Structure formats: structure tokens, C-alpha cells
Amino acid sequence: MEYQTSFSSPLGFLALKSDGQSITDISFSENDLQEQKSCAVLDECRKQLDLYFSGKVLDFTLPLSPEGTEFQQKVWTELLKIPYGETITYMELAVRLGDAKAVRAVGTANGRNPIAIIIPCHRVIGAGNKLTGYAGGLWRKKLLLELEMKHSVRKDMLF
């Protein structure tokens, strides 16, 4: 059974989905979902997102179950290792995965991340600290990075 609910964030509505055991999708939405059916994991997700946007949660503790290829799963797992308030480049991400030549594939997998914010694809930037690519729009990526910089112990993040 699929559960879904909305979350009103500073970046607009987020559509949250769950299989009842874990989070399966978080995406940006132009509208509040009309049909909502929540569950305990979605209630906890909304609570943690609220704390995240207020700067009180730096790490999410939610069960995640994103659907994707084996390679995409590897990329998304590596994204979860990027600390709050820090950024890495697409090249650094490819190197962490063991293949600097896979930078384009890494970028594509990053862009297909189905669980926005919690799997922090917004923490991956282009060479030279350039903001590039974000499914939710570059303005959202910039705001997420600014939020994290504001509440992070590290204040030297550039973008």
C-alpha cells in the first residue's frame, strides 16, 4: 500500500510518499496534495523536515527505500555520507565511487534522486563551486545550501 501526504516547506510543497515502512519519494510539488493518506513514517518525516527547516535537525533518521538501479543506489548511498553544511563536486563524488571517468553518470544518477533533501543531492556542486543542476530548481538548491550554512558549524562553504 502506498501512503502520501504533503509538507508545506519554505521551498513550496513537498509530496512525501511511503510504503508504510520507509520513505520512497520526496519531490517538489506546485500544489498541496488533494488525496492524502498518512502513516507513522510519513508523520515522522514531516516532523523531521520541520526541524530541518528550523535548523534543529542536521541528520535525518528515517528508513529510506529509493527505487533505482544498482549504480544509482551506490550514488545515493554516497550522497548520504556528505555532512550537513558541506558540499562536494560531481568529480569528487565520482572519485569517491572509484571512477573519475564516471562523472557524467554520477551527475545523471544524482539528478534522478527520488528522495529530495533527505538524500542530499543538493550538496553536490560543479567545479569551481558553481551551482549546477537541481531537479527542484537552482533557487531551491541555493536556499538549501544557505540554510545549512547558516546552521552549520562550518561557515566557510562557498557556492
- Active-site positions read 121
Nearest residue to 28 (alpha-carbon basis) of 134, 145, 99: 134
Element (H, E) at 100: none
How far is the C-alpha of 109 from the C-alpha of 105, rounded, in Å?
A: 6
Alpha helix locations (H) across 1-151? 40-53, 70-79, 90-96, 103-111, 138-151
How far is the C-alpha of 106 from the C-alpha of 34, rounded, in Å?
A: 35
How far is the C-alpha of 1 from the C-alpha of 143, rounded, in Å?
A: 34
How far is the C-alpha of 124 from the C-alpha of 127, rounded, in Å?
A: 10
